[in-house]
Amino acid sequence: MIGLLLCLGTAARAKPFTFAVVGDNQPSGYNTMRQNEVFRRIIADIKTHNPAFVIQQGDHVWGYQGNPGLLERMWKEYFLTAESFKPIPVYHSPGNHDLYDKASGQVWDRHFRKRYHAVEYGRSAFIFLDAETDVNRISGVQFKWLKSRLTKYRGWDNIFVAMHKPVFRPLANGTLYEDSASLDSHQVEYSRLIDALTAANIRMVFAGHYHQYDMDYRHGILQYISGGGGGEVEDDPARGFHHYLLVHVDGRKVDVEAVRISDTDWIDPVASRKAPFTLEDFKTIDSPLSWTMWDQSVLGELVRAPEGGSGNSLRIGYDFSRYEWPMLTLGTERPEIWAGATGISFRTYIAPGATTAYPELVVGIRGLKGSYSAPRIKLMPGWNQVNFKFSDRTWSWSHGKETKEGVALETTRIEPFTGLTFMLWGYERKDSGTFYLDDVSVN
């Protein structure tokens, strides 16, 4: 018995190791699919340190997409990029851009199987939590599971906890953020979680969601926020920068290092496609151009063009009683794609007699410095032709022999251009119908 005790008392200490933490790499720009170049650079930089594994703590994709096919394409883009981590293992927690409704939950479960889980490495335990299924709460079955894990790991060298939403919100200029995007927005569950974590003497919590770097110690919890993995960062020079964390573990000694990534030259290599170009038959365009749809109430599908058209059109079903702003976006953050463009043109179609209240269309021009929207275009039954000239910055649209001129837009303030947005105007309307978009050309 004495010999056994001596053996345990002199057992070999766990070998030192390093792991990386990165979060909020979702593509910049409204509903964009392609992963940012800065995320690719972060992956490459992480690999130079040869960490034991990587913690990816949520918001992998833009998400918020009611079309399962397009959501799957967003995930495909993520996995294609994340393949560069190999052979380093990557462990994931869901973020609000990843997990936000039943359909997105099914996609997450199909790819990752679990929404919360634990990983053991040497004498350190890593607990990955889901703060999205029950938004901003760790509750029910998950909380019971968490307590059982904390009990199991009592006496280990380190217990680390990772999730997307922070346990408590960070400070901004000495005061707490006013929003409720952290677990302290629900006091009952928050207090219970704090008690469980502090009783287990966890080493630290890693979180994201806020696109910045932050470290704070509060209520007995050391929390690191690392939200600089590729998405747009906070407008705060002290904290709003692209980065990832390197965590060095040597027994019970833990050091955290924030590695900053310069974003002065992270524009992607430009594809060969440049203006002029036509999006023929609405086939998916390889990055950096992609079509995406917003909101579950918008149903889009590729169909044969209606009477008077040729090839395929994109048919969009809308229901203003469910959502007032159905939207379709042609997105790219690469202004070089639009170099030399003099304007855009497209056609729309609404079936005659389908309704007595035809929708209005708002077309937005996006640029690196902002965006502008054209005056609302009142769509008429049949085919409508719409043109916009960059040279004099004016709109014109026609239906049959009738032509109208739009108001000039001060687009010089937003150049260079990066994309288009098509939105149906449904304010204070309850009707539903079908809208077709065809022959979109950048001239």
> Tokens 């392609």 belong to which residue?
34
Helix (H, G, I), strand (E, B) or coil at 2: helix
Helix (H, G, I), strand (E, B) or coil at 51: coil
> Residue 192 belongs to what domain range?
13-260
How high is the pLDDT of residue 329? Answer: 65
Residues 252, 294: one domain?
no
Token couple for 274: 């440049």
CATH number of the domain residue 402 falls in: 2.60.120.260
Quick check: 101 and 65 in contact, CB under 8 A?
no
Alpha helices in 50-114 (DSSP H): 68-82, 102-112
What b-and-e string marks burial along 261-284, b requiring 16 or more CB atoms within 10 Å of the CB?
bebeeeebeeeeeebebebeebee
Q: What is the mean pLDDT of the chain?
A: 79
- pLDDT: which is higher, 288 or 158: 158
Average pLDDT score over residue span 103-115: 94
Using CA atoms, how far apart are residues 18 and 93, in angstroms rounded to an integer? 19
Closest CA to 306 of 361, 400, 384, 376: 384
Token couple for 304: 């044969």
Q: What is the pLDDT of residues 266-325, one digit of tens each?
A: 333 333 345 566 655 444 433 344 455 544 445 666 778 888 887 778 777 777 777 666
Average pLDDT score over residue span 53-71: 86
User: Do the strands 432-442 and 312-319 form a parallel or antiparallel pair, or are they unpaired?
Assistant: antiparallel
Using CA atoms, how far apart are residues 23 and 162, in angstroms rounded to an integer? 10
CATH number of the domain residue 43 falls in: 3.60.21.10
Which residues on neighbouring strands pair with residue 433, listed in sequence order?
Answer: 318
- pLDDT of 141 higher than 80: yes
Average pLDDT score over residue span 72-81: 88
- pLDDT of 359 higher than 70: yes
Instruction: Flag whether 124 is in a domain.
Output: yes
Residues 209, 335: one domain?
no
Residues 227, 163: one domain?
yes
Q: What is the DSSP annotation of 97-140? A: TT-SSHHHHHHHHHHHS-SSEEEEETTEEEEE--STTTTT---H
Instruction: Flag whether 271 is in a domain.
Output: no
Instruction: Flag whether 265 is in a domain.
Output: no
Structural domain ending residue among the three candidates 214, 229, 260: 260
Of the chain, the end-to-end C-alpha distance in Å amounts to: 85
How high is the pLDDT of residue 295? Answer: 47
Instruction: Flag whether 272 is in a domain.
Output: no
Look at 90-104, 282-296, 370-384, 403-417 and tell me which has the smallest mean pLDDT: 282-296
Q: What is the pLDDT of residues 229-270, one digit of tens each?
A: 988 888 777 788 899 999 999 999 999 999 998 754 433 333
Banded model confidence at residue 354, pLDDT cuts 50, 70, 90: low
Using CA atoms, how far apart are residues 386 and 393, in angstroms rounded to an integer? 13
Residues 414, 365: one domain?
yes
Residues 170, 222: one domain?
yes
Using CA atoms, how far apart are residues 424 and 138, in angstroms rounded to an integer? 38
Instruction: Flag whether 5 is in a domain.
Output: no
Number of structural domains found in the chain: 2
Instruction: Flag whether 2 is in a domain.
Output: no
Banded model confidence at residue 177, pLDDT cuts 50, 70, 90: confident
Label residue 137 exposed, middle or buried (CB < 10 Å: 0-12, 13-18, 19+).
Answer: buried
pTM, whole model, 2 decimals?
0.64
Quick check: 238 and 259 in contact, CB under 8 A?
no
Structural domain ending residue among the three candidates 260, 289, 324: 260
How high is the pLDDT of residue 338? Answer: 66
- pLDDT: which is higher, 19 or 381: 19
Amino acid residing at 417 = F
Residues 251, 225: one domain?
yes
Residues 324, 233: one domain?
no
Residues 21, 163: one domain?
yes
Residues 287, 377: one domain?
yes
Residues 156, 43: one domain?
yes
Quick check: 152 and 120 in contact, CB under 8 A?
no
Structural domain ending residue among the three candidates 260, 289, 314: 260
Instruction: Flag whether 269 is in a domain.
Output: no
Residues 246, 295: one domain?
no
Strands (E) across 279-320 are located at: 290-294, 299-304, 312-319
Banded model confidence at residue 422, pLDDT cuts 50, 70, 90: confident
Average pLDDT score over residue span 13-31: 83
Phi, psi (deg, nearest 5) at residue 359: -70, 165
Can you give 131-152 as a three-state secondary structure string?
CCCCCCCCCHHHHHHHHHHHHH
Give the C-alpha distances (Å, rounded to integers) separating 418 from 275, 320, 364: 12, 28, 11
Using CA atoms, how far apart are residues 65 and 380, in angstroms rounded to an integer? 29
Instruction: Flag whether 363 is in a domain.
Output: yes
Residues 354, 427: one domain?
yes
